[in-house]
Amino acid sequence: MTHHTAPTRIHHLVDHNAAVRPDAPAIKDCDGRVYSWAEYAKLTEDAARLLADHGAAPGERVLIVGENCLALPVLINAASRIGAWAVPVNARMSAAEVARIAAHAQPVVTLFTSHISREAVNHAGDATPCPTSFGALHVVPGLPDPEPVDDSADTPAILLYTTGTTGDPKGVMLSHANLLFAAEASMTLRSLVPEDHVYGALPLTHVFGVASMMMAAACAGSMIELATRFNPAKLFEALRAGATVMPAVPQMHALLMAHAEELGEATLGAPRLRYVSSGAAPLDPSWKRKAEAFYGLPLQNGYGMTESTAGVTGTRNAIGDPDASVGPPLPGCEVRLDLTFGEDPDVGEVLTRGPHVMVGYFRNPTATAQTVQDGWLRTGDLGRIDPQGRLHIVGRSKELIIRGGFNVYPPEVEAALNDHPDVVQSAVIGRSRGGDEEVIAFVQPRAPGMVDAETLRSFAADRLAGYKRPSRIFVVDSLPAAATGKILKHQFAKHFADLLAEEDQPSV
Protein backbone atom coordinates (compact mmCIF):
# COMPACT_ATOMS: atom_id res chain seq x y z
CA MET A 1 0.00 0.00 0.00
CA THR A 2 1.57 3.31 -1.02
CA HIS A 3 1.12 6.32 1.22
CA HIS A 4 2.75 9.71 1.27
CA THR A 5 2.73 9.24 5.02
CA ALA A 6 2.12 5.90 6.71
CA PRO A 7 -1.30 5.70 8.37
CA THR A 8 -1.29 5.98 12.16
CA ARG A 9 -5.08 5.95 12.68
CA ILE A 10 -7.57 3.50 11.22
CA HIS A 11 -9.62 6.27 9.52
CA HIS A 12 -6.50 7.26 7.53
CA LEU A 13 -7.19 4.23 5.29
CA VAL A 14 -10.62 5.64 4.35
CA ASP A 15 -9.14 9.12 3.76
CA HIS A 16 -6.34 7.66 1.62
CA ASN A 17 -8.82 5.82 -0.64
CA ALA A 18 -11.05 8.92 -0.83
CA ALA A 19 -8.01 10.85 -2.08
CA VAL A 20 -6.70 8.32 -4.64
CA ARG A 21 -9.91 6.60 -5.84
CA PRO A 22 -12.78 8.91 -4.76
CA ASP A 23 -15.39 7.45 -7.14
CA ALA A 24 -14.51 3.75 -6.71
CA PRO A 25 -17.02 1.64 -4.73
CA ALA A 26 -16.22 1.28 -1.01
CA ILE A 27 -19.31 -0.19 0.63
CA LYS A 28 -22.37 -1.95 -0.69
CA ASP A 29 -24.90 -1.60 2.12
CA CYS A 30 -27.37 -4.32 3.08
CA ASP A 31 -30.12 -2.51 1.09
CA GLY A 32 -28.04 -2.80 -2.10
CA ARG A 33 -26.94 0.85 -2.26
CA VAL A 34 -23.27 1.39 -3.14
CA TYR A 35 -21.22 4.19 -1.57
CA SER A 36 -17.96 5.52 -3.06
CA TRP A 37 -14.82 6.16 -1.01
CA ALA A 38 -15.47 9.93 -1.19
CA GLU A 39 -19.02 9.42 0.14
CA TYR A 40 -17.77 7.03 2.84
CA ALA A 41 -15.15 9.55 4.03
CA LYS A 42 -17.77 12.33 4.15
CA LEU A 43 -20.16 10.14 6.15
CA THR A 44 -17.42 9.47 8.72
CA GLU A 45 -17.01 13.25 9.09
CA ASP A 46 -20.79 13.65 9.61
CA ALA A 47 -20.69 10.86 12.18
CA ALA A 48 -17.68 12.40 13.97
CA ARG A 49 -19.69 15.63 14.41
CA LEU A 50 -22.65 13.64 15.75
CA LEU A 51 -20.41 11.84 18.26
CA ALA A 52 -18.73 15.09 19.35
CA ASP A 53 -22.17 16.67 19.87
CA HIS A 54 -22.90 13.79 22.29
CA GLY A 55 -19.72 14.33 24.30
CA ALA A 56 -17.38 11.89 22.56
CA ALA A 57 -13.78 13.05 22.93
CA PRO A 58 -10.30 11.48 23.04
CA GLY A 59 -10.16 8.50 25.42
CA GLU A 60 -13.96 8.18 25.70
CA ARG A 61 -15.78 4.99 24.71
CA VAL A 62 -18.54 5.01 22.07
CA LEU A 63 -20.78 1.94 22.36
CA ILE A 64 -22.37 0.83 19.07
CA VAL A 65 -25.08 -1.82 19.45
CA GLY A 66 -25.85 -3.09 15.99
CA GLU A 67 -25.72 -5.53 13.14
CA ASN A 68 -23.85 -5.22 9.84
CA CYS A 69 -24.84 -2.09 7.93
CA LEU A 70 -23.19 1.10 6.67
CA ALA A 71 -23.51 2.77 10.10
CA LEU A 72 -21.06 0.34 11.75
CA PRO A 73 -17.91 1.08 9.68
CA VAL A 74 -18.89 4.76 9.53
CA LEU A 75 -19.16 5.05 13.34
CA ILE A 76 -16.00 2.99 13.98
CA ASN A 77 -13.99 5.33 11.71
CA ALA A 78 -15.75 8.42 13.12
CA ALA A 79 -14.65 7.45 16.65
CA SER A 80 -11.08 7.18 15.29
CA ARG A 81 -11.36 10.71 13.83
CA ILE A 82 -11.93 12.23 17.26
CA GLY A 83 -9.65 9.92 19.25
CA ALA A 84 -12.51 8.05 20.93
CA TRP A 85 -12.66 4.25 21.18
CA ALA A 86 -15.37 2.36 19.26
CA VAL A 87 -17.04 -0.47 21.23
CA PRO A 88 -19.03 -2.51 18.67
CA VAL A 89 -21.49 -4.95 20.28
CA ASN A 90 -23.76 -7.42 18.50
CA ALA A 91 -27.42 -6.46 18.89
CA ARG A 92 -28.31 -10.15 19.07
CA MET A 93 -26.79 -10.38 22.55
CA SER A 94 -29.25 -10.57 25.44
CA ALA A 95 -30.28 -7.40 27.29
CA ALA A 96 -28.30 -8.62 30.34
CA GLU A 97 -25.13 -9.12 28.26
CA VAL A 98 -25.39 -5.66 26.67
CA ALA A 99 -26.04 -4.10 30.09
CA ARG A 100 -22.98 -5.85 31.57
CA ILE A 101 -20.77 -4.57 28.74
CA ALA A 102 -22.15 -1.03 29.07
CA ALA A 103 -21.54 -1.07 32.84
CA HIS A 104 -17.95 -2.16 32.25
CA ALA A 105 -17.12 0.09 29.25
CA GLN A 106 -18.74 3.22 30.75
CA PRO A 107 -19.50 4.77 27.31
CA VAL A 108 -20.03 8.51 26.92
CA VAL A 109 -22.73 7.70 24.34
CA THR A 110 -24.47 4.55 23.05
CA LEU A 111 -25.83 4.29 19.50
CA PHE A 112 -28.22 1.61 18.22
CA THR A 113 -28.55 0.69 14.51
CA SER A 114 -32.30 0.60 14.93
CA HIS A 115 -33.05 1.10 11.21
CA ILE A 116 -31.91 -2.44 10.33
CA SER A 117 -32.15 -4.44 13.55
CA ARG A 118 -35.25 -5.29 15.55
CA GLU A 119 -32.96 -6.35 18.41
CA ALA A 120 -31.24 -2.96 18.39
CA VAL A 121 -34.66 -1.29 18.69
CA ASN A 122 -35.49 -3.51 21.69
CA HIS A 123 -32.18 -2.66 23.39
CA ALA A 124 -32.73 1.06 22.73
CA GLY A 125 -35.98 1.07 24.72
CA ASP A 126 -37.42 4.60 24.82
CA ALA A 127 -34.22 6.23 23.53
CA THR A 128 -34.41 9.19 21.18
CA PRO A 129 -34.46 8.37 17.44
CA CYS A 130 -31.84 10.36 15.56
CA PRO A 131 -31.95 10.67 11.75
CA THR A 132 -28.46 10.68 10.17
CA SER A 133 -26.97 10.59 6.68
CA PHE A 134 -26.07 6.91 7.26
CA GLY A 135 -29.35 5.56 8.69
CA ALA A 136 -31.71 6.37 11.56
CA LEU A 137 -30.14 5.55 14.92
CA HIS A 138 -31.31 5.62 18.51
CA VAL A 139 -28.90 7.48 20.79
CA VAL A 140 -28.52 7.23 24.58
CA PRO A 141 -26.23 9.69 26.38
CA GLY A 142 -23.80 8.45 29.03
CA LEU A 143 -21.36 10.21 31.34
CA PRO A 144 -17.84 11.38 30.51
CA ASP A 145 -15.18 9.01 31.87
CA PRO A 146 -12.10 9.46 29.64
CA GLU A 147 -9.04 7.25 29.72
CA PRO A 148 -5.64 8.99 29.64
CA VAL A 149 -4.93 10.22 26.12
CA ASP A 150 -1.86 9.07 24.21
CA ASP A 151 -1.06 10.39 20.74
CA SER A 152 0.87 7.33 19.57
CA ALA A 153 -0.51 4.62 17.27
CA ASP A 154 -0.52 2.35 20.35
CA THR A 155 -3.57 4.12 21.73
CA PRO A 156 -6.73 1.95 21.60
CA ALA A 157 -9.05 2.37 18.61
CA ILE A 158 -11.51 -0.43 19.31
CA LEU A 159 -12.60 -2.16 22.50
CA LEU A 160 -14.04 -5.64 21.79
CA TYR A 161 -15.71 -7.80 24.41
CA THR A 162 -14.95 -11.51 24.14
CA THR A 163 -17.44 -14.35 24.47
CA GLY A 164 -16.34 -15.08 28.03
CA THR A 165 -17.63 -17.96 30.10
CA THR A 166 -18.97 -16.31 33.24
CA GLY A 167 -18.31 -13.40 35.53
CA ASP A 168 -17.05 -10.00 34.48
CA PRO A 169 -16.89 -9.06 30.82
CA LYS A 170 -13.39 -8.84 29.36
CA GLY A 171 -12.79 -5.86 27.08
CA VAL A 172 -9.89 -6.37 24.67
CA MET A 173 -8.15 -3.08 23.82
CA LEU A 174 -6.93 -3.11 20.21
CA SER A 175 -4.75 -0.18 19.19
CA HIS A 176 -4.64 1.66 15.85
CA ALA A 177 -1.24 -0.03 15.31
CA ASN A 178 -2.72 -3.50 16.06
CA LEU A 179 -5.55 -2.97 13.56
CA LEU A 180 -3.39 -1.43 10.82
CA PHE A 181 -0.94 -4.35 11.12
CA ALA A 182 -3.80 -6.90 11.00
CA ALA A 183 -5.38 -5.13 8.00
CA GLU A 184 -2.16 -5.26 6.00
CA ALA A 185 -1.41 -8.88 7.03
CA SER A 186 -4.89 -10.00 5.99
CA MET A 187 -4.79 -8.01 2.73
CA THR A 188 -1.43 -9.61 1.86
CA LEU A 189 -2.55 -13.14 2.78
CA ARG A 190 -5.56 -12.82 0.45
CA SER A 191 -3.76 -10.75 -2.23
CA LEU A 192 -6.58 -8.18 -2.05
CA VAL A 193 -6.65 -5.49 -4.76
CA PRO A 194 -8.98 -2.52 -5.36
CA GLU A 195 -11.01 -4.55 -7.91
CA ASP A 196 -11.97 -7.13 -5.26
CA HIS A 197 -15.51 -7.46 -3.93
CA VAL A 198 -15.47 -8.88 -0.40
CA TYR A 199 -18.67 -10.52 0.84
CA GLY A 200 -19.15 -9.41 4.45
CA ALA A 201 -21.48 -11.72 6.36
CA LEU A 202 -19.16 -12.01 9.38
CA PRO A 203 -20.29 -9.56 12.08
CA LEU A 204 -18.29 -6.32 12.30
CA THR A 205 -18.84 -6.58 16.06
CA HIS A 206 -16.33 -9.45 16.07
CA VAL A 207 -12.57 -9.29 15.46
CA PHE A 208 -12.68 -11.55 12.39
CA GLY A 209 -15.22 -9.22 10.72
CA VAL A 210 -13.75 -5.88 11.79
CA ALA A 211 -10.02 -6.62 11.30
CA SER A 212 -9.72 -9.38 8.68
CA MET A 213 -12.67 -8.20 6.59
CA MET A 214 -13.56 -4.49 6.99
CA MET A 215 -10.04 -3.21 7.75
CA ALA A 216 -8.34 -5.48 5.18
CA ALA A 217 -10.74 -4.25 2.48
CA ALA A 218 -10.02 -0.61 3.42
CA CYS A 219 -6.28 -1.33 3.35
CA ALA A 220 -6.58 -2.63 -0.24
CA GLY A 221 -9.23 -0.17 -1.42
CA SER A 222 -11.59 -3.11 -2.13
CA MET A 223 -15.38 -2.90 -1.90
CA ILE A 224 -17.09 -4.72 0.95
CA GLU A 225 -20.69 -5.90 0.62
CA LEU A 226 -22.36 -5.95 4.03
CA ALA A 227 -24.92 -8.64 4.91
CA THR A 228 -26.87 -7.90 8.08
CA ARG A 229 -27.43 -11.56 8.77
CA PHE A 230 -26.04 -14.65 7.18
CA ASN A 231 -28.52 -16.03 4.65
CA PRO A 232 -27.37 -18.92 2.41
CA ALA A 233 -29.72 -17.94 -0.45
CA LYS A 234 -28.42 -14.34 -0.48
CA LEU A 235 -24.82 -15.52 -0.26
CA PHE A 236 -25.40 -17.95 -3.17
CA GLU A 237 -26.73 -15.07 -5.31
CA ALA A 238 -23.97 -12.63 -4.27
CA LEU A 239 -21.25 -15.14 -5.19
CA ARG A 240 -22.82 -15.86 -8.56
CA ALA A 241 -23.26 -12.11 -9.13
CA GLY A 242 -19.54 -11.39 -8.81
CA ALA A 243 -18.22 -11.40 -5.22
CA THR A 244 -14.53 -12.36 -5.35
CA VAL A 245 -13.52 -12.98 -1.72
CA MET A 246 -15.48 -14.85 0.92
CA PRO A 247 -14.19 -15.11 4.48
CA ALA A 248 -16.50 -17.38 6.48
CA VAL A 249 -16.85 -19.92 9.28
CA PRO A 250 -17.47 -23.66 8.62
CA GLN A 251 -21.19 -23.45 9.40
CA MET A 252 -21.68 -20.87 6.60
CA HIS A 253 -20.03 -23.17 4.05
CA ALA A 254 -22.14 -26.14 5.21
CA LEU A 255 -25.41 -24.18 4.93
CA LEU A 256 -24.45 -22.73 1.53
CA MET A 257 -23.70 -26.23 0.18
CA ALA A 258 -27.00 -27.53 1.61
CA HIS A 259 -28.85 -24.64 -0.12
CA ALA A 260 -27.16 -25.36 -3.48
CA GLU A 261 -28.05 -29.03 -3.13
CA GLU A 262 -31.73 -28.11 -2.60
CA LEU A 263 -31.52 -26.18 -5.88
CA GLY A 264 -30.02 -29.26 -7.54
CA GLU A 265 -26.60 -27.61 -7.96
CA ALA A 266 -23.57 -29.79 -7.21
CA THR A 267 -21.09 -26.93 -7.70
CA LEU A 268 -21.30 -23.21 -7.05
CA GLY A 269 -20.51 -21.83 -10.50
CA ALA A 270 -19.30 -18.38 -9.36
CA PRO A 271 -16.89 -17.23 -12.07
CA ARG A 272 -15.30 -14.27 -10.25
CA LEU A 273 -14.90 -15.94 -6.84
CA ARG A 274 -11.15 -16.46 -6.26
CA TYR A 275 -10.61 -16.78 -2.50
CA VAL A 276 -12.57 -18.73 0.10
CA SER A 277 -11.50 -19.09 3.71
CA SER A 278 -12.75 -20.73 6.85
CA GLY A 279 -11.87 -19.64 10.35
CA ALA A 280 -12.98 -19.87 14.00
CA ALA A 281 -13.24 -23.68 13.98
CA PRO A 282 -11.17 -26.72 12.94
CA LEU A 283 -11.43 -28.10 9.39
CA ASP A 284 -11.49 -31.82 8.84
CA PRO A 285 -9.88 -33.10 5.63
CA SER A 286 -12.86 -34.90 4.07
CA TRP A 287 -15.13 -31.90 4.66
CA LYS A 288 -12.45 -29.67 3.15
CA ARG A 289 -12.32 -31.88 0.03
CA LYS A 290 -16.10 -31.67 -0.29
CA ALA A 291 -16.06 -27.85 0.01
CA GLU A 292 -13.23 -27.54 -2.54
CA ALA A 293 -15.15 -29.66 -5.04
CA PHE A 294 -18.17 -27.39 -4.51
CA TYR A 295 -16.26 -24.10 -4.95
CA GLY A 296 -13.68 -25.29 -7.44
CA LEU A 297 -11.15 -23.42 -5.27
CA PRO A 298 -8.82 -24.21 -2.38
CA LEU A 299 -10.40 -23.66 1.04
CA GLN A 300 -7.91 -21.66 3.11
CA ASN A 301 -7.81 -21.89 6.88
CA GLY A 302 -6.38 -19.62 9.53
CA TYR A 303 -6.12 -19.08 13.25
CA GLY A 304 -6.51 -16.07 15.48
CA MET A 305 -8.43 -14.63 18.39
CA THR A 306 -9.67 -11.28 19.66
CA GLU A 307 -6.55 -10.76 21.76
CA SER A 308 -4.34 -11.24 18.68
CA THR A 309 -6.34 -8.80 16.47
CA ALA A 310 -7.60 -11.78 14.44
CA GLY A 311 -4.88 -13.44 12.36
CA VAL A 312 -1.87 -15.29 13.77
CA THR A 313 -1.42 -17.95 11.06
CA GLY A 314 -2.92 -18.65 7.64
CA THR A 315 -2.67 -21.19 4.80
CA ARG A 316 -1.91 -20.53 1.15
CA ASN A 317 -2.59 -24.03 -0.12
CA ALA A 318 -3.32 -25.27 -3.61
CA ILE A 319 -6.64 -27.02 -4.26
CA GLY A 320 -6.62 -30.64 -3.12
CA ASP A 321 -3.79 -30.12 -0.61
CA PRO A 322 -4.66 -32.49 2.28
CA ASP A 323 -3.14 -30.03 4.80
CA ALA A 324 -5.65 -29.55 7.64
CA SER A 325 -3.41 -27.18 9.61
CA VAL A 326 -4.11 -23.49 10.25
CA GLY A 327 -0.91 -22.66 8.39
CA PRO A 328 2.43 -21.04 9.23
CA PRO A 329 2.66 -17.76 11.17
CA LEU A 330 1.78 -14.62 9.20
CA PRO A 331 4.78 -12.36 8.39
CA GLY A 332 5.70 -10.41 11.53
CA CYS A 333 3.95 -12.84 13.92
CA GLU A 334 5.93 -15.30 16.04
CA VAL A 335 4.45 -18.56 17.34
CA ARG A 336 5.89 -21.03 19.84
CA LEU A 337 4.54 -23.77 22.11
CA ASP A 338 4.74 -24.03 25.88
CA LEU A 339 5.39 -27.78 26.12
CA THR A 340 5.15 -27.97 29.93
CA PHE A 341 1.49 -28.85 29.47
CA GLY A 342 1.05 -32.61 29.70
CA GLU A 343 1.78 -36.11 28.56
CA ASP A 344 2.10 -35.47 24.81
CA PRO A 345 5.64 -34.22 24.08
CA ASP A 346 4.57 -32.48 20.84
CA VAL A 347 1.46 -30.67 22.13
CA GLY A 348 1.63 -27.43 24.07
CA GLU A 349 -0.14 -24.16 24.71
CA VAL A 350 0.14 -21.84 21.70
CA LEU A 351 1.96 -18.58 22.46
CA THR A 352 2.28 -15.70 20.00
CA ARG A 353 4.21 -12.43 19.93
CA GLY A 354 4.29 -9.46 17.57
CA PRO A 355 2.51 -6.24 16.54
CA HIS A 356 -0.82 -8.11 16.57
CA VAL A 357 -0.90 -8.68 20.36
CA MET A 358 -3.53 -6.56 22.14
CA VAL A 359 -2.74 -3.55 24.35
CA GLY A 360 -4.44 -5.45 27.20
CA TYR A 361 -7.78 -5.96 28.92
CA PHE A 362 -9.66 -2.73 29.70
CA ARG A 363 -9.22 -1.74 33.36
CA ASN A 364 -8.05 -5.24 34.26
CA PRO A 365 -4.25 -5.22 34.72
CA THR A 366 -4.35 -8.56 36.61
CA ALA A 367 -5.94 -10.47 33.71
CA THR A 368 -3.59 -8.66 31.27
CA ALA A 369 -0.51 -9.74 33.25
CA GLN A 370 -1.74 -13.37 33.34
CA THR A 371 -2.38 -13.41 29.57
CA VAL A 372 0.55 -11.41 28.16
CA GLN A 373 3.96 -12.35 29.57
CA ASP A 374 7.19 -10.82 28.21
CA GLY A 375 5.22 -9.81 25.12
CA TRP A 376 3.97 -13.38 24.53
CA LEU A 377 0.19 -13.83 24.42
CA ARG A 378 -0.92 -17.07 26.10
CA THR A 379 -3.81 -18.19 23.87
CA GLY A 380 -5.20 -21.01 26.02
CA ASP A 381 -5.27 -23.13 22.85
CA LEU A 382 -3.36 -26.39 22.49
CA GLY A 383 -1.39 -26.99 19.33
CA ARG A 384 1.48 -28.80 17.68
CA ILE A 385 3.82 -27.56 14.98
CA ASP A 386 4.60 -29.96 12.10
CA PRO A 387 8.03 -30.31 10.39
CA GLN A 388 6.89 -27.77 7.73
CA GLY A 389 6.36 -25.14 10.47
CA ARG A 390 2.56 -25.22 10.20
CA LEU A 391 0.44 -24.92 13.32
CA HIS A 392 -2.25 -27.51 14.10
CA ILE A 393 -4.79 -26.58 16.78
CA VAL A 394 -5.82 -29.64 18.77
CA GLY A 395 -8.17 -28.03 21.31
CA ARG A 396 -8.57 -25.61 24.18
CA SER A 397 -6.49 -26.31 27.29
CA LYS A 398 -9.71 -25.98 29.32
CA GLU A 399 -11.63 -28.32 26.98
CA LEU A 400 -9.19 -31.20 27.11
CA ILE A 401 -10.96 -34.41 28.22
CA ILE A 402 -8.91 -36.96 30.17
CA ARG A 403 -10.57 -40.36 29.87
CA GLY A 404 -9.03 -43.42 31.47
CA GLY A 405 -5.74 -41.50 31.64
CA PHE A 406 -5.78 -40.74 27.89
CA ASN A 407 -6.01 -37.21 26.43
CA VAL A 408 -9.07 -36.73 24.21
CA TYR A 409 -9.08 -33.54 22.10
CA PRO A 410 -12.69 -32.57 21.23
CA PRO A 411 -11.89 -31.28 17.68
CA GLU A 412 -10.68 -34.76 16.68
CA VAL A 413 -13.99 -36.36 17.79
CA GLU A 414 -15.97 -33.52 16.18
CA ALA A 415 -14.11 -33.98 12.88
CA ALA A 416 -15.05 -37.69 12.84
CA LEU A 417 -18.75 -36.91 13.42
CA ASN A 418 -18.77 -33.99 10.95
CA ASP A 419 -17.54 -36.42 8.31
CA HIS A 420 -21.05 -37.93 8.15
CA PRO A 421 -22.86 -36.53 5.08
CA ASP A 422 -26.04 -35.70 7.06
CA VAL A 423 -24.23 -33.72 9.79
CA VAL A 424 -23.88 -29.91 9.64
CA GLN A 425 -21.75 -29.59 12.78
CA SER A 426 -21.07 -31.19 16.13
CA ALA A 427 -19.65 -30.21 19.51
CA VAL A 428 -17.97 -32.46 22.05
CA ILE A 429 -17.58 -31.82 25.78
CA GLY A 430 -16.33 -33.83 28.75
CA ARG A 431 -18.37 -34.76 31.82
CA SER A 432 -17.08 -36.05 35.16
CA ARG A 433 -18.24 -39.57 35.93
CA GLY A 434 -17.07 -41.63 38.89
CA GLY A 435 -13.56 -40.21 39.06
CA ASP A 436 -13.14 -40.27 35.28
CA GLU A 437 -14.42 -38.14 32.37
CA GLU A 438 -16.75 -39.30 29.64
CA VAL A 439 -17.07 -37.92 26.13
CA ILE A 440 -20.46 -36.39 25.26
CA ALA A 441 -21.34 -35.28 21.70
CA PHE A 442 -24.09 -32.95 20.46
CA VAL A 443 -24.79 -33.23 16.75
CA GLN A 444 -26.81 -30.93 14.47
CA PRO A 445 -28.16 -32.77 11.39
CA ARG A 446 -28.80 -31.08 8.04
CA ALA A 447 -32.53 -31.53 8.64
CA PRO A 448 -34.54 -32.94 11.57
CA GLY A 449 -34.71 -36.74 11.61
CA MET A 450 -32.01 -37.22 8.95
CA VAL A 451 -29.71 -39.18 11.22
CA ASP A 452 -29.96 -40.87 14.63
CA ALA A 453 -27.53 -41.44 17.50
CA GLU A 454 -27.12 -45.15 16.78
CA THR A 455 -26.05 -44.53 13.17
CA LEU A 456 -23.56 -41.90 14.34
CA ARG A 457 -22.22 -44.19 17.04
CA SER A 458 -21.29 -46.94 14.56
CA PHE A 459 -20.01 -44.29 12.09
CA ALA A 460 -17.67 -42.85 14.78
CA ALA A 461 -16.56 -46.33 15.88
CA ASP A 462 -14.90 -46.88 12.49
CA ARG A 463 -12.97 -43.63 12.82
CA LEU A 464 -11.98 -43.28 16.48
CA ALA A 465 -10.02 -45.24 19.05
CA GLY A 466 -12.22 -46.75 21.76
CA TYR A 467 -11.33 -44.17 24.42
CA LYS A 468 -12.20 -41.27 22.06
CA ARG A 469 -15.69 -42.54 21.17
CA PRO A 470 -18.59 -40.57 22.70
CA SER A 471 -20.41 -42.34 25.57
CA ARG A 472 -23.51 -40.40 24.59
CA ILE A 473 -24.54 -38.74 21.33
CA PHE A 474 -27.43 -36.26 21.38
CA VAL A 475 -28.95 -35.27 18.03
CA VAL A 476 -30.25 -31.69 18.45
CA ASP A 477 -31.89 -29.05 16.21
CA SER A 478 -29.14 -26.48 16.75
CA LEU A 479 -26.10 -25.71 18.89
CA PRO A 480 -25.80 -22.52 20.98
CA ALA A 481 -23.54 -20.24 18.95
CA ALA A 482 -22.28 -16.66 18.89
CA ALA A 483 -23.20 -14.51 15.89
CA THR A 484 -19.88 -15.49 14.28
CA GLY A 485 -20.91 -19.14 14.27
CA LYS A 486 -18.45 -19.92 17.09
CA ILE A 487 -20.06 -22.65 19.20
CA LEU A 488 -20.48 -21.59 22.84
CA LYS A 489 -19.64 -24.76 24.75
CA HIS A 490 -19.82 -23.04 28.13
CA GLN A 491 -23.58 -22.67 27.58
CA PHE A 492 -24.19 -26.37 26.96
CA ALA A 493 -24.81 -27.43 30.57
CA LYS A 494 -27.60 -24.85 30.87
CA HIS A 495 -28.92 -25.07 27.28
CA PHE A 496 -29.15 -28.88 27.23
CA ALA A 497 -29.95 -29.27 30.95
CA ASP A 498 -33.12 -31.27 30.22
CA LEU A 499 -31.33 -33.77 27.96
CA LEU A 500 -28.48 -34.19 30.41
CA ALA A 501 -30.90 -34.54 33.36
CA GLU A 502 -32.90 -37.28 31.57
CA GLU A 503 -29.60 -38.98 30.99
CA ASP A 504 -28.93 -38.95 34.75
CA GLN A 505 -32.15 -40.81 35.66
CA PRO A 506 -31.48 -44.36 36.90
CA SER A 507 -32.61 -46.88 34.30
CA VAL A 508 -35.39 -49.11 35.52
Instruction: Give average pLDDT by consecutive 10-residue segment, the chain, 508 residues.
Output: 76 98 98 98 98 97 98 98 97 87 97 96 94 96 94 95 67 98 98 98 93 97 96 96 92 88 95 91 79 96 94 96 94 96 84 98 96 96 95 84 80 88 92 82 93 94 87 94 80 88 55
Contact (Cβ atoms closer than 8 angstroms) between residue 460 and residue 413: yes
pLDDT at 283: 74
What are the distances in angstroms from CA 440 to CA 205, 232, 292, 363, 481?
31, 30, 30, 37, 18
pLDDT computed for residue 507 by the predictor: 36
- CATH of region 11-177: 3.40.50.980
Crossing angle of helices 250-262 and 232-240, rounded to 10°: 80
Burial of 222 (0-12, 13-18, 19+ CB in 10 A): buried
Task: List the one residue out of 257, 280, 273 whose CA is nearest residue 319.
Answer: 273
Q: What is the pLDDT of residue 394?
A: 87
Q: Indicate the domain borders of the chain.
A: 11-177, 230-396, 401-504
Give the predicted TM-score (pTM) of the model: 0.86
- Residue 327 per-residue DSSP state: B
CATH superfamily of the 401-504 domain = ANL, C-terminal domain (3.30.300.30)
Question: Considering only CA atoms, which of 161, 178, 152 is closest in space to residue 363?
Answer: 161
Rounded distance, CA 377 to CA 370, Å?
A: 9
Q: Please report the pLDDT score of residue 281 as a whole number.
A: 67
> For 230-396, CATH number?
3.40.50.12780
Residue 337: partners with Cβ closer than 8 Å, 6 or more residues away? 347, 348, 349, 350, 351, 383, 384, 385
Task: Check for a shared fold between 11-177 and 401-504.
Answer: no
Q: Fill in the amino acid letter for 389.
A: G
Per-residue model confidence (pLDDT) at position 504:
58
50 half-sphere exposure, CB direction, 13 A CA radius: 28
Confidence (pLDDT) at 43: 98
Question: C-alpha distances in angstroms, 196 versus 27, 45, 297?
Answer: 12, 25, 16
